[in-house]
Every structure is written in C-alpha cells, then in structure tokens.
Structure 1
Amino acid sequence: MLTVLLAGGGTTGHISPLLAIADDLAFQDPEARLIVLGTEDGLESRLVPAAGYELVTIDKVPAPRRVDAAALAFPRRLMGTVTAVRRLLKERAVDVVVGVGGYVASPAYLAARSLGIPIVIHEANARPGLANRLGARLSRPELIGYTFANTPLPGTQVGMPMRAEVAHRDRRDPRVRAAAAKSLGLDPAKTTLVVTGGSLGAAALNRALAASVPALADAGVQVLHITGAGKAEEVVAAAAASPDYHVVEYVDGMEDAYTAADLIVCRAGAGTVAEVTTMQVPAVYVPLPIGNGEQRLNAADAVAAGAALLVDDADFTPDYAAQTVLPLLRDPARLAAMAQAAADMGFPRSADRAMAARVFAAAGAAHPGRAYPERMQTKEELAGAAGADGSGADR
C-alpha cells in the first residue's frame, strides 16, 4: 500500500495545490494512505479535514530574519520538529514525501532525506521560497515540478495543481460564457471587467476603480468588483448610481468570474496568475508591493508573451484606469490577441496529474492509469483529442 506524506500549509497558496495533488493520488489509487503535515494555526487546520484527509500538526519554526534570541534557539527547535517528523515517517512507513513549501516543508525534507525517503516537490512561485530551495538540493530533478517556466530550480514546468473546474473550463464557448455571466447576475452581452485583489482584497485596486466608476459607466462597461472581505463600503458608495457596477466581497467559484471576464485586473499571486493564464483571460496585473518581488516574476512570462500588462501598485491610479484599462476594454481585437497569446503559451493544464505521476515514480510504483470521468477530463479529452491518455503528462 502506497503511503504519502504531503507537507505544506499556512496559506491557500500552499494548501490548494497540495489538495489538488492529493485528490489525483486518491483517485488513481483509492487504497493509498495520504497524510498531510501542517500546523495548528494555518488554514490547513480547517481545509484539510474538510477535504477528507488526515492532518498531523507540528510546531511552526520560521527561519530567523535577524540575530536575536529566536535565532539562537532556531537550530534546536528545528531539530526538534525534524525528530518529530522522522518518528512519523517511520511509524507510518511513509514511501514518499511531497512538499509544496511553507514552514513545515523544511523539517519534512530533512527528515525524509535522513531516512532515504524520496522527496517530490512542487514550487508555486517563480521565485522559490527557502524551503523548496532546500528541498531541491535534497531531491532529484525528475521529481521536481514548478508552475512558471522562469523558475530557477531543476525540474520541469508542470503548471499549478488546481481544481478541475478552473483547469478544464473552456471560456471560448459562448454558451459557457453566457451561463457564467448569468450565474453572477451579469449581462452576457456586455463587455465585462472583473477586478479582484484576492480573498484579502487590494486597497489600491479598490480606490482606483471606485474613482473610475463614472468613466466605466459612460463607456457602457459592466464591472464585477470583488473587493475582499470587509472592504466593499467605499466601492459600494461610489457605484450606487451605476447599475452595471456590481460589487461583492467574495465569489465562491472564481471560474465563473474568469469565464465571464473580457479583462481582469488583479494581483499576481502564483495561484491567480496560473488560473488566469490557464483560462486565457486578458489581464492587467498589479503586483503586491511587499514581499520579495515574487509577484512581478510570477506575471513575467504572461507579460512577455503579450497575454497581460503589468503596472506597479503605486501607478495603478484612476488616470491609469482611464488611459490604459478603459481603452483596452474598448478594443476587442486587442483583447482577442491577448487571449490568443495566453493560449499560445501552452501553459500546462494538468499539474495535479503530473505531480501525482512523480509520486508513483518516486515510489517505484506503476502509474495505475485509471481513466478519468467526464468531470475530471480536460477539454481536449472531452473532445477526443489524440494522445490525451491521462497518464500524468506534463502538458
């Protein structure tokens, strides 16, 4: 029986791809034992049990950023978590460790290496984090996959493991687009701008678009503005007299928003860029101005391909919206060219399968090759495309 420990958590950016990999493993080998390693205070404490997987927690041991008492205690605390993970790996007879980064990945990698257990890694961001840079040194290139082609790790671009509803949606079908628009209370016949700062929202995007409501209304543009939890008030007030400006705090099922959009304005987190590129939505990316610059790098390939624009957070102003966003919305030929540029990138759609295939290979087990039901099939498979055999190919 195959036993796999999947290490990662803290944010949805780690948990979502981890669960997508787990789902493919569980489908291909229903007898496999899948254990998720996380922390008690991360989102995994809620999302992993809700997805039906066992969660085992360890202490969070962040790498020190400066020399202080915490830094002096770091080696001892890290080795304590490594020892705990080693014990878990031995007790459960784990065959493969899968890591997606985050606080718990480093001790999992170190524990696995000490026991000779193979390590499979997925890196979401174009700029890898500390944990996966460490893990890449302890693994083999053929067991490493990453989302973006410009990621400086050994391995192969596989894309982002994501829900089939996003990865396999065909927004080019007019009937699919119309159904998505109607599900969101939008008019399928109108040019649609979607604005989102993610679940936490983005103040700069909210302010700039709130000030642009009159111009967008005059242009006949329909807007779905997803403000983030608790951040709708200013935008709602600005859009009160504009019935085509729809303000919500959250959308459950972003595939409908992507499908309805003629253009999206959004942050450039790895998951967002991967989903937008996969669904071939023309985009204006406004990278988060904090962090280590990974969001700008996440968007770089799409921008270079002509599928997206990129603007600094400080420069995303009402003037930018009026001078760049609005003319783009009025130019269907350019929007079509951007969507085609995204299609021409050949961004991988089946990263969950590709990573699951690496797990079976790492364990020295044959891929089960179970045929995917319609709900899990790619649009190419649904169309009977030649060569789509469901065996975990990278593309």
Structure 2
Amino acid sequence: MPLTVLFAGGGTTGHISPMLAIADDLAFQVPDAQILMLGTAEGLETRLVPEAGHELLTIDKVPAPRRIDAGLVRFPGRLLGTVSAVTRIIRERGVDVVCGVGGYVSTPAYLAARRTGTPIVVHEANARPGLANRLGARLTPRRRVGYTFASTPLTGEHVGMPMRSAIEAVDRTDPAARARAAVALGLDPQRRTLVVTGGSLGAQAMNEAFRAAMPELMAAGLQILHITGAGKGADLAAAAERYHGYHVVDYVDGMENVYAAADLLICRAGAGTVAEATTAQVPAIYVPLPIGNGEQRLNAADAAAAGAAEIIENADFTAESIRTRIIPLLTDDARLEAMEQAARSMVFPQTAARTMVAMILDAAGLDHPHRPYPPERRTRDERARGGSDSPTTEPPDSEGHP
C-alpha cells in the first residue's frame, strides 16, 4: 500500500506555504505517496491547495474561546465533533502519518491521531509556538518535531522553514545573478536598491510613511521597489509618478528575484518572510506587526541579535525614521556589508522541507529513497558544491541531532 500522509494546517499562507513545501518534497521523494490536506472551508487553503494539485478535506473551524461565555460551554462538544471527523478520515483513508503545521485544524488532527495510534510529525513556523503545536509536540517524540527559529521554546530540531527551492537557491554573492534579478523586476542593476513590502495584505502605515519621505529617498539617489499589497498603493503610485526610480507594484510573482536584487529589505516579520530573508541572506529591517502574542517581533529576534537585521517597532516607523535610520543605512556601504556578512554567518538550515519529509518517513517506518535532486531543486550551497547531497535528509536522533 502506498504511504498516505494527512497534512493539517490552513487559514493563512503562514501555515499553507510550509505545508505545501513539505508535500512537494514528499511527492518528489515518494511519487506514489497519497497526500491529503486538512483545512476549513473558510481559509486560503480552499484555493491554494487545489491549485497545488492536492486533495483538500475540510472540517469545522473551532477556535478556543478566550473568555467565559456561551462559546466556552459549547467548545468541548464542537471540538469533540471535529476530532471524530478527523478520526473517520484517518481510518477510512488509511492515513499512516499526520503532519501538522499549526492552526485551527491541527488540534483535532493531533487528538485524532493520538486516538487512532497514528504517528504525529509537527512543524512550528513561529518563534512563539501556538497552542496547537504545543499540544502536538507533547504527543510525539522530540525527533518528530521541527521548528523554524533556533530560539523557539519547543523540544525538537531547528530545521528552518519549508519553502520553495528557488528561494533556497538565491546567491547574493553572484553579481550576474543579482543583475538578472534586478532586470527581471524592471530595475536598474547599477543603482542601490531598497525593497519595501508589507506582505500579502500590505501595510498601509508603512506605505504612508514612504509617501511622506519620498523626496528625501529620491534625493539620496536610491531606487525603490515598493510592493504595496492589492488595492493599497493608489496614493503612493500617484505620488511616485513624478520620480524616476520609485516603482510601485501590488505584488511580485517570484520573491526570489526580490531577495537577490535588494540591497536592503524593509518588511513585516511574519515567520515566512523572516525565514526567506534569512535563508537568502539579505540585510533587512523588520517592522513587526503588533498582533497576537508578539510573535512577529520574536520571529525577527534571532536575525537582529546576529546583526543581520534591525527592528523598528510599528509605532516608531514614520517618515522621520526613514530619514534618520533607513537612508543613512542605505548609503553606508560598510554597514550594509557587515549586515550581509552577519547573515552569512548565521546557522540557518536551508532544507527544512527535506528534513520534515525524513521525519515523516521515519514515523511511517519507511526507508528514505534518497532520490538525487535535479539542479532546479538544489540549494545555493549544493549548487556551489556541484551536487545535491544534503545532510538533512536523515531523521534526527533521539537528542534532536541529524
């Protein structure tokens, strides 16, 4: 019988993207594997999972109540209902391993896996683990828990963030590759380049600060690529029309070119963005969104501590901070080079998806096939070595080491 894996996650790209990256590597290593994905009918997974060619199964969204009200009374029954629904899926589809990445559906998936004796594998994206993955990590051996950031307080392995191979392959030490990336984005390869992005939802406050500081940015001879988010950049684009070199776009298809072309990146500190920028070794200024339990600031903490990035608090990010902190940094070659060298010195794994697949196969009791990766699936370091062997295709031992 082919291996059947149920991936549990969804809601936002922060959960869906790593889930898809792990599934992509699993499909490469085990082409006959049956890949099922568990989500809700409300999240982005309803579009992104089918687009990736995988089967999506949905259950009700049952968030844990945060106050004492009628919802708290109904919660146990609703959660039990979703656990029963996932239990039926596991038994009817012959699921061999449940791999959770956090979010609303992971909790019932972990509980159903525990009920049926199905092995559990966990990946945590954020530096501060969510409730679901804290539960999942308690229900499985430490060798089957991976996390993105070294400072994450989970017992497991620092594996990095599962992401597309094209980002793992970004090589900022290659001037020709950086020039090609700039041209692909419609930029001048000879000019100092600042990239600003607020993520998939944009960041209106950041957009407004840059609009106010636009004259000073242009007077400094800089080139800006400002990714505003859909429907968020009309005013900024109108203001930029008078300046040559201030490029405003809703989105970019292919962030690997952005990471290669940027001399400095200014962005939010979602786990995926921080992990990609760290993997690509691009100097960054993070503006954490003050949401949840402050996880965005924690996501950026490792890179900031290493000197590869700086943090500007959301409340402090204004046109004045652009004038006094960002423009001086962008015109200081020594500081930018020091940040890039610090990024290169960070120990940040490049092959998280492969490591998570190794954990899945280990959980299923299967040997890893070790199919060699073709050039387009190789990381920056593998391309430099001229091969595709990776030390992270072996599962970690009981102490959490490869």
Code of the aligned partner of 1:68: D
Aligned to 2:243: 242
Q: CA deviation at 1:389?
A: 4.0
Aligned to 2:336: 335
Aligned to 2:169: 168
- Which SS does the other structure have where 1:36 is aligned? strand
* Counterpart mapping for 1:200-215 below 5 A: 200-215=201-216
Quick check: 332-341 or 146-155, which moved more?
332-341
- Which SS does the other structure have where 1:4 is aligned? strand
1:328-352 CA-to-partner distances (Å, cap 9, x unmatched) read 0001121111011011012111000
In 2, Cα distance between equivalents of 1:283 and 1:188:
19
1:264-310 CA-to-partner distances (Å, cap 9, x unmatched) read 11000000000011001111100002221000000000000000000
Alignment check: 8 A CA contact 1:211 1:238 kept: no
In 1, Cα distance between equivalents of 2:381 and 2:161:
18
- Which SS does the other structure have where 1:383 is aligned? helix
- Which SS does the other structure have where 2:361 is aligned? helix
Aligned to 1:363: 364
- Which SS does the other structure have where 1:34 is aligned? strand
Q: CA deviation at 1:235?
A: 1.0
Code of the aligned partner of 1:19: L
Code of the aligned partner of 1:38: G
Alignment check: 8 A CA contact 2:227 2:250 kept: yes
Instruction: Classify 1:387/1:177 alpha carbon distance in 2 versus 1 (closer, same or farther; 3 Å).
Output: closer
Q: CA deviation at 1:48?
A: 0.6
Code of the aligned partner of 1:219: A
Instruction: Classify 1:343/1:53 alpha carbon distance in 2 versus 1 (closer, same or farther; 3 Å).
Output: same
Q: CA deviation at 1:254?
A: 1.1
In 2, Cα distance between equivalents of 1:291 and 1:111:
27
Aligned to 1:228: 229
- Which SS does the other structure have where 2:7 is aligned? strand
Q: CA deviation at 1:387?
A: 8.8
Aligned to 2:353: 352
Q: CA deviation at 1:382?
A: 2.0
- Which SS does the other structure have where 1:169 is aligned? coil
Residue identity (%): 63
Alignment check: 8 A CA contact 1:193 1:261 kept: yes
The runs of at least 4 aligned residues of structure 1 exceeding 4 Å deviation read none
1:124-181 CA-to-partner distances (Å, cap 9, x unmatched) read 0000111101111111110000000000001011000000111112122111111110
Alignment check: 8 A CA contact 1:371 1:390 kept: no
In 1, Cα distance between equivalents of 2:342 and 2:388:
24
Q: CA deviation at 1:388?
A: 3.0
Q: CA deviation at 1:386?
A: 7.8
Aligned to 1:73: 74
Aligned to 2:108: 107
In 2, Cα distance between equivalents of 1:111 and 1:253:
37
Alignment check: 8 A CA contact 1:8 1:14 kept: yes
In 1, Cα distance between equivalents of 2:82 and 2:170:
41
Code of the aligned partner of 1:351: A
In 2, Cα distance between equivalents of 1:98 and 1:340:
35
Aligned to 2:399: none
Q: CA deviation at 1:88?
A: 0.7
In 2, Cα distance between equivalents of 1:371 and 1:123:
27
1:20 correspondence with 2:21: yes
- Which SS does the other structure have where 2:349 is aligned? coil
Q: Structure 1 unaligned segments of length 5 or more: list them.
A: none
In 2, Cα distance between equivalents of 1:200 and 1:368:
39
- Which SS does the other structure have where 1:86 is aligned? helix
Aligned to 1:274: 275
Alignment check: 8 A CA contact 2:170 2:259 kept: no
Q: CA deviation at 1:207?
A: 1.1
In 2, Cα distance between equivalents of 1:390 and 1:352:
13
Aligned to 1:312: 313
- Which SS does the other structure have where 2:393 is aligned? coil
- Which SS does the other structure have where 1:211 is aligned? helix
- Which SS does the other structure have where 1:5 is aligned? strand
Alignment check: 8 A CA contact 2:372 2:389 kept: no
Code of the aligned partner of 1:316: F
Code of the aligned partner of 1:249: D
Alignment check: 8 A CA contact 1:25 1:356 kept: yes
- Which SS does the other structure have where 1:212 is aligned? helix
In 2, Cα distance between equivalents of 1:358 and 1:94:
16
Code of the aligned partner of 1:144: V
1:301 correspondence with 2:292: no
Q: Structure 2 unaligned segments of length 5 or more: list them.
A: 397-401
In 2, Cα distance between equivalents of 1:44 and 1:331:
43
1:73-132 CA-to-partner distances (Å, cap 9, x unmatched) read 010000001001111101111111000001100000000011111100000000011110
- Which SS does the other structure have where 2:115 is aligned? helix
In 2, Cα distance between equivalents of 1:17 and 1:369:
21
Code of the aligned partner of 1:379: R
1:49-75 CA-to-partner distances (Å, cap 9, x unmatched) read 110111111111111111111111010
1:228-275 CA-to-partner distances (Å, cap 9, x unmatched) read 111112211222211110001111111111111000110000000000
In 1, Cα distance between equivalents of 2:125 and 2:16:
11
Alignment check: 8 A CA contact 2:374 2:388 kept: no
TM-align CA RMSD: 1.3
